[in-house]
Structure 1
């Protein structure tokens, strides 16, 4: 693929848009971003807040600790953090500059301000409307489809900003329908390293740092540490443990940023950390690692394109298959080996549910990475799952398409029941 080709430029832009930093689980951070923006437009600290959200937002915010809040959880905590110390121009790092004094103000604000959360019926799976009030003045800020996609800003009846939007269409982002596994491998093989060095270098730096933090200290259920203490330090174990440890830390409010993929830090760590660990074990060049990470990242994004950013389908499955593909590339695999690795991995764990962001995400990540590694090792030994085996169809693209249908359409009722169970808890 030549660097003058449209597809080359498109793939490069996808990486730039998707591999961005975020501090904390991205759904609470999106809440904080909306709150910070609403407060800025209002011009003062609101005395009343109504947060209207879709079920999937409730699911992904309910149980996760919001960083820089003193270990507070939930939509109200994320809202208060955005209002008290948020800077909307920082986007998904909106609350990264909160001070110790701000943390105390957040707690005080939660105890004195009315913050009401409403579960709304909306066609958008990702939907946040932040309504803030002070005396006779109000501001509405609405975000749909993805974490920073503001479609409405309204103040005191005046529309300050508005754009039309379509359900599940990510306006303003590059077209991901052009992605295919064959072209991803071609792009990874041919990309000028200088074009992606900053993006991938930052991914390695940020995600490795939070993984080490997760292994060193007590976070969540300490899945990363459990894996190593139980199964030893073989590369297969380390690959799972590093990814799990990053999630351990992140779900428990660690204030280190991660590089996300498809709007998810857990998916960003799952797609990158196992590949980094295998690259260290195999002592490959930096360039080979970078190209392997491109494969893992883009394969993850490709799978998520047919599923959407939020669903009942655990996105770690996509990233685990992506990391398996990246590992296959490190072992010298090309399109054929990578395709079979993806199909094998998806045969093993497709259907694992997403019941929101919380400590158990780390364990799910370990399972997804294990499937990716097994998928790779299977084909290295001449073994594979074949078209007609369950949801598997002949050809990697047909299988990815089937998984997308399963996740987006087939698991709609599952998502409804998950949300119902979580709200009733």
Structure 2
């Protein structure tokens, strides 16, 4: 792809928008970010807090440990962390630097300050409103549609910032409809490496580090360790294990950053770490590793875009297909092998539901990466799922449209039922 092609710069910008560092699960961190901005706007320590959140936010915050809080969980902990210790200028690294004294202050704040939580039914799938009060004064912040998209800042009835909001619109981001597998392949195999190197170096450094941390220490259900105990000599197992271990750590309070993909650290880990493991095993050049990661990341974004940021469709599924695409390239596959890998992978694991961020995400990641690897190995052995097999249609783009429809529209009621189950638990 020539640099003069409009897609070239668009693809660079899409990567810059999606491959950003975040510390902790991104939905709790978005809440912390809203809390930090609200506190700064108020200019006082709040004596009352109200959090309004869509069901999908509640689902993804309920069970995950918020980093730098002394292993606190849930909405109260997330918003409190932002109010007490957050640096709003850091966005998704808003609570990356917290002192032991501030952790104690968080616990005291949660004891002393009433925090009201309200479920926002209807409207945007991704919706957070944090209102903080001090006496008669208040400040309100709303984040909608994606994690750093502040659409409202208000203080004492005066609107300081206001952006129009339509359900699940991402108007502030580069047009994702420019993505398709043929052009993603063209871009990944021809891009000037210097245009993506800094982004990918950060992804490699952060995501491998947290995967190694997950293997070293005790996090969650230790899915990564379990997999290595089963057969650590097999690169296919190591690829799954390393990705799972990163999630083990991240879902269970590890205070290390992750470079995310499509708004999710788990998806960032899933789409990158298995590709890095295979690149090391195969001894490929740095250039080939960068190209494989470019391919895997853009494929994951392409799969995820029509589904939306939050859904009952597990985000690791698309990221596992993206990892499969990168691995297929590393193993010598061309566009045809990559496309069939993606279709096969999605046909295998598209039934995995998202029931919030928590320890079992690591096991789902392992299954999704396994499907990506299996999808490639099927095709090179003359096997594939064909159009008419369930949600598979002839042509990769048609299948991706089906997956998007399933994840966004078909699973709406599933998402609502999952949220009801989790709220009642």
Range class of TM-score, shorter chain: over 0.9
Once the 2 structures are TM-superposed, how far is the Cα of residue 232 of structure 1 from its aligned partner?
2.8
Q: Where do 1:59-74 residues align within 5 Å?
A: 59-74=59-74
Q: 2:196 is paired with a residue of what secondary structure?
A: helix
Residue 207 (1) aligns with residue 196 (2): no
State whether residues 228 and 241 of structure 1, in contact with CA within 8 Å, keep that contact through their aligned partners in structure 2: yes
State whether residues 343 and 392 of structure 1, in contact with CA within 8 Å, keep that contact through their aligned partners in structure 2: yes
Structure 1 residues 25-57: Cα deviation after superposition (integer angstroms, max 9, x where no partner): 000000000000000000011000000000000
Map of 1:82 onto structure 2: 82
Q: Where do 1:204-243 residues align within 5 Å?
A: 204-243=204-243
Once the 2 structures are TM-superposed, how far is the Cα of residue 233 of structure 1 from its aligned partner?
2.5
For 2:26 and 2:86, the matched residues in 1 are separated by 14
Q: Where do 1:83-122 residues align within 5 Å?
A: 83-122=83-122
For 1:124 and 1:188, the matched residues in 2 are separated by 33
Once the 2 structures are TM-superposed, how far is the Cα of residue 167 of structure 1 from its aligned partner?
1.1
State whether residues 215 and 245 of structure 1, in contact with CA within 8 Å, keep that contact through their aligned partners in structure 2: yes
The root-mean-square deviation of aligned C-alpha atoms, in Å, is: 0.6
Residue 417 (1) aligns with residue 417 (2): yes
Map of 1:250 onto structure 2: 250
Residue 293 (1) aligns with residue 293 (2): yes
Map of 1:43 onto structure 2: 43
Once the 2 structures are TM-superposed, how far is the Cα of residue 120 of structure 1 from its aligned partner?
1.4
For 2:9 and 2:334, the matched residues in 1 are separated by 22
Map of 1:166 onto structure 2: 166
Map of 1:385 onto structure 2: 385
For 1:345 and 1:384, the matched residues in 2 are separated by 10
Q: Where do 1:399-414 residues align within 5 Å?
A: 399-414=399-414
Once the 2 structures are TM-superposed, how far is the Cα of residue 176 of structure 1 from its aligned partner?
0.5
For 1:32 and 1:38, the matched residues in 2 are separated by 10
Residue 356 (1) aligns with residue 386 (2): no
State whether residues 49 and 132 of structure 1, in contact with CA within 8 Å, keep that contact through their aligned partners in structure 2: yes
For 1:166 and 1:178, the matched residues in 2 are separated by 21
Q: 1:258 is paired with a residue of what secondary structure?
A: strand
For 1:232 and 1:279, the matched residues in 2 are separated by 17
Q: 2:230 is paired with a residue of what secondary structure?
A: helix
For 1:141 and 1:276, the matched residues in 2 are separated by 39
Once the 2 structures are TM-superposed, how far is the Cα of residue 270 of structure 1 from its aligned partner?
0.2
Map of 2:319 onto structure 1: 319
- The gaps in structure 1 that reach 5 residues or longer are none
Q: 1:38 is paired with a residue of what secondary structure?
A: helix
Structure 1 residues 134-157: Cα deviation after superposition (integer angstroms, max 9, x where no partner): 001001100000001000011101
For 1:360 and 1:268, the matched residues in 2 are separated by 17
Once the 2 structures are TM-superposed, how far is the Cα of residue 401 of structure 1 from its aligned partner?
0.4
Structure 1 residues 46-96: Cα deviation after superposition (integer angstroms, max 9, x where no partner): 000000000000000000000000000000001110001001000000000
For 2:233 and 2:257, the matched residues in 1 are separated by 26
Once the 2 structures are TM-superposed, how far is the Cα of residue 231 of structure 1 from its aligned partner?
2.5
Once the 2 structures are TM-superposed, how far is the Cα of residue 316 of structure 1 from its aligned partner?
0.2
Q: 1:118 is paired with a residue of what secondary structure?
A: strand
For 2:354 and 2:165, the matched residues in 1 are separated by 26
Residue 330 (1) aligns with residue 321 (2): no
Structure 1 residues 364-417: Cα deviation after superposition (integer angstroms, max 9, x where no partner): 000000000000111111111111111100000000000111111111110010
For 1:325 and 1:17, the matched residues in 2 are separated by 21
Q: 1:154 is paired with a residue of what secondary structure?
A: strand
Q: 1:321 is paired with a residue of what secondary structure?
A: helix
Map of 2:57 onto structure 1: 57
For 2:303 and 2:119, the matched residues in 1 are separated by 29
For 1:376 and 1:38, the matched residues in 2 are separated by 48
Q: 1:372 is paired with a residue of what secondary structure?
A: helix
Structure 1 residues 108-155: Cα deviation after superposition (integer angstroms, max 9, x where no partner): 111101111111123100000001000010011000000010000111
Once the 2 structures are TM-superposed, how far is the Cα of residue 101 of structure 1 from its aligned partner?
0.9
Once the 2 structures are TM-superposed, how far is the Cα of residue 297 of structure 1 from its aligned partner?
0.3
